[in-house]
Structure 1
Amino acid sequence: MTDVHPGQRVAVLVDAQNLYHTAQSIYSRNIDYSELLEEAVDGRQLTRAIAYVIRADSPEEESFFEALYDIGFEPKIKDIKRFSDGTKKADWDVGMSLDAVTLANHVDTMVLCTGDGDFSRLCSHLRHEGVKVEVMAFEASTADELVEAADDFEDLGERHETYLL
C-alpha cells in the first residue's frame, strides 16, 4: 500500500462471506484472517477490526467466530434468513456501511476487505470525508467500480499463498 506511516489510525472491515466464497470457488481454500489483518494494518495503529459473518448453523462456525476474536477481530454475527420459498438471504452491506461511516471520524484510513461493488458509493463518501480508503480483495471477483472508487487496491490473488490457509 502507498502512503503508509505508523501514526495512521486504521479500521479494518471484512466482508467474510464475500472473501470466503471467492477463496473457495477459485482456490478451494480458506482465508488466513491473521495474515489478512496483519497486512491490512501494515504497521499502523489499529482502531477497530470487524469481521462481518453469517451464522448458517454449521458445526465448525462457533470455533471460527472464536478464532476471529482471538486474532483481534470483533465478529459481528447475523443469522441467515430463510424464506418460505426456500431461498436464503444474508448480507452485511448496510451494517458494514453504517459502521464505516460511524468510524470515519476516528480513523485516517479505512481498509475494506470485500469485492462487492455495492461498496463503491461508500468509498466515495469516505474519501469525501477525508478518509483514505484501501480495498483488499481477489481481483477476479472484485467489481471494477470498487477498485476505481478506492485510493488503493490490493489483489489478494497476487499473493494468495500469504492470504490463504
Structure 2
Amino acid sequence: MIQLIPPRPFQPSSNGHAYAAKPSSASSGEFQGVERTDRGRVVVFIDGASLFYAAMQMEIEIDYTRLLSCLVSGGRLIHAHFYTGVDPSNEKQKGFLYWMQCNGYRVVAKELVQSTTGAKKVNLNVEIAVDLVRLAPYCDTMILVSGDGDLTCALDFVNYQGVQTEVVGLRSMISEHLINVADYYTDLATIKQEIQKRHSKEFH
C-alpha cells in the first residue's frame, strides 16, 4: 500500500513557465489569458482522477515535471500535493507514485473501494479541502487542479484569508462554481502543448 506522507517544513524552490486565465465575466464563459508574474509562495493541489480524465479527453499523457514548471511560473513552489486512489495490486501505479514522490510531489493516497455496482472508486475531497484550509497561512497563491464543485466552499474560505487562488481544469469538465470563486482560471486545453509528454500520441 501507498503510505500517506505527513507534511514537511516548507522549503521554497524556483520553477519555470505558465499561463493563467481570468474570467471576463462569470456568466459569459469567456476568458482572457493572463501571464502570472506575482504568485509569491505557491502550493499546488492536484486531483489525480480529475486530471487523468481530462488528459484522456485531450488525448495526451501528462508530463508531471513540465506540469509543475508550467503551473508555478512567477512563483516559488512550496509544496505540490497529488491526491489519488490506489489499487494495491497495481505495480505500474506503485512505480508511478514512487516516481512522483521522488520528483517533487507529495502523494496523498487512499485505497480504492469497490462499490455495489462493481466499480472501484475513492473520494479524496475531504483531504484536499482540509489541506487547502490548513496550508492557507503559509502561502501567497494556491493552485487547484480539479473540476469538482464540492471543493468550492474550501476554496472560497481560502480566498477570504487573503490567498490568491487559481483553478485549472478542462472547460467541459469543471464546475462553474469553482471558476466563479477563484481569482484566476486556466483551461487545461490552452496549456496542452506545455504539459504533455513529448512522445504523447492519441489514445485508441
TM-score clears 0.5: yes
CA contact (8 A) 2:70 2:194 kept: no
Residue matched to 1:58: 90
**Which amino acid in 2 is paired with 1:42?**
S
Residue matched to 2:38: 5
1:162 matches 2:187: no
Q: TM-score, normalised by structure 1?
A: 0.90
**Which amino acid in 2 is paired with 1:41?**
V
Residue in structure 2 matching 1:89, options 121, 124, 131:
121
- In 1, Cα distance between equivalents of 2:126 and 2:144: 14
Residue in structure 1 matching 2:107, options 75, 85, 100:
75
- In 2, Cα distance between equivalents of 1:144 and 1:84: 30
- In 1, Cα distance between equivalents of 2:115 and 2:178: 30
**Whose helix proportion is higher, 1 or 2?**
1
When the two structures are aligned, how many residues end up with a matched partner?
163
Structure 1: stretches of 5+ with no match in the other structure: none
**Which amino acid in 2 is paired with 1:5?**
D
Measured after TM superposition, the shift of residue 161 of structure 1 is 1.8
Measured after TM superposition, the shift of residue 152 of structure 1 is 0.3
1:49 matches 2:80: yes
Q: Deviations over 1:30-66 (max 9, x none)?
A: 2221122112211312111110111123331011102
Residue matched to 1:124: 156
- In 2, Cα distance between equivalents of 1:106 and 1:68: 23
**Which amino acid in 2 is paired with 1:68?**
M
4+ residue runs over 4 A deviation = none
Measured after TM superposition, the shift of residue 23 of structure 1 is 1.1
Residue matched to 1:100: 132
Residue matched to 1:27: 58
CA contact (8 A) 2:169 2:186 kept: yes
Q: Deviations over 1:89-138 (max 9, x none)?
A: 30210001101100001011110011111112222111011111011111
- In 2, Cα distance between equivalents of 1:126 and 1:157: 26
Measured after TM superposition, the shift of residue 87 of structure 1 is 4.0
Structure 2: stretches of 5+ with no match in the other structure: 1-19, 21-33, 198-204
CA contact (8 A) 2:58 2:189 kept: no
Measured after TM superposition, the shift of residue 4 of structure 1 is 3.0
Judge which range, 140-149 or 11-20, deviates more: 140-149
| Greater Cα radius of gyration, structure 1 or 2 | 2
